[in-house]
A and B are shown apart, each in its own frame.
Chain A
Amino acid sequence: GQSLEQPSEVTAVEGAIVQINCTYQTSGFYGLSWYQQHDGGAPTFLSYNGLDGLEETGRFSSFLSRSDSYGYLLLQELQMKDSASYFCAVRDLNSGYSTLTFGKGTMLLVSP
């Protein structure tokens, strides 16, 4: 089966930088995704890493090391609106079918 580990909660102040780590164990690994979910809302896609290295999208960056089964989401210039839950998810390819398995989520609390 698949398993993902990420911290349950992270706190930071406005303007700071925060890193949310994710380690995973899976067979048929095909990529690591990150999603944001505000309280009461739907998860929304942030980034995807299929290959090792850093992907940057505005204030958010995501990193993957397949040899270490590890990735992280980096949020820069934190804003109050970044307070949300963040989920890493691994994409598996088994028997030609692609599914996403999610971690339990990291709640980010940004304070003034």
Chain B
Amino acid sequence: IAGITQAPTSQILAAGRRMTLRCTQDMRHNAMYWYRQDLGLGLRLIHYSNTAGTTGKGEVPDGYSVSRANTDDFPLTLASAVPSQTSVYFCASSDRGTGELFFGEGSRLTVL
């Protein structure tokens, strides 16, 4: 049983460094999402992709980029990390047309 796999589970990063969070799903879902979760702010959408080859911006996209080269993978890149990007990042997927998201276990990122 896999579902959604995120890596790394935890990372400490120096400000200014580049970082890619990986996300892979094996459910053949069309849609994938990246959320960040900060205390008191809930889950905020960073970027999403409704199908391979397409991406869209969510509520808080600045400082992040994504790509969707195939159905299974949806990496999130921080080109030059800043301390305000310290957060827990969740990748999720869904069948297009449903309100049910399947989440990965999260990647805890600390930017110093």
Show the binding face of A for B, using Cβ within 8 Å: 1, 30-33, 35, 41-45, 48, 50, 87, 89, 91, 97-105
Q: Is the CB of B99 within 8 A of A43?
A: no
Q: Is B83 an interface residue (CB 8 A)?
A: no
Residues of A contacting B58 in the complex (Cβ-Cβ under 8 angstroms): 99
In the complex, which of the residues B41, B98, B106 contacts A48, with contact meaning CB atoms closer than 8 Å? B98
Pairwise interchain contact A42-B98, C-beta atoms closer than 8 A: no
A103 to B96, CA, bound (A): 21
Instruction: Indicate whether B73 reaches chain A with its CB closer than 8 angstroms.
Output: no
B residues adjacent to A (C-beta < 8 A): 31, 33, 35, 40-45, 48, 50, 56, 58-59, 90, 94, 96-106
When the two chains form their complex, are residues A98 and B33 in contact, meaning their CB atoms are under 8 A apart? no
Q: Which residues of A contact B59 (CB under 8 A)?
A: 1, 101
Chain A residues positioned under 8 Å from B106 (CB to CB)? 42
Do A100 and B33 touch across chains, with their CB atoms under 8 A apart?
yes
Q: How far is the CB of A45 from chain B (nearest CB, A)?
A: 5
Contact A99–B48 (Cβ < 8 Å)? yes
Q: Which residues of A contact B41 (CB under 8 A)?
A: 104
A41 to B6, CA, bound (A): 13
Checking A91, A97, A102 against B43 with a beta-carbon cut-off of 8 angstroms, the contacting residue is A102
Indicate whether A100 sits within 8 Å of B45 (C-beta atoms), given known contacts A41-B105, A43-B103: yes
- Give bound CA distance, A104 to B101, whole Å: 17
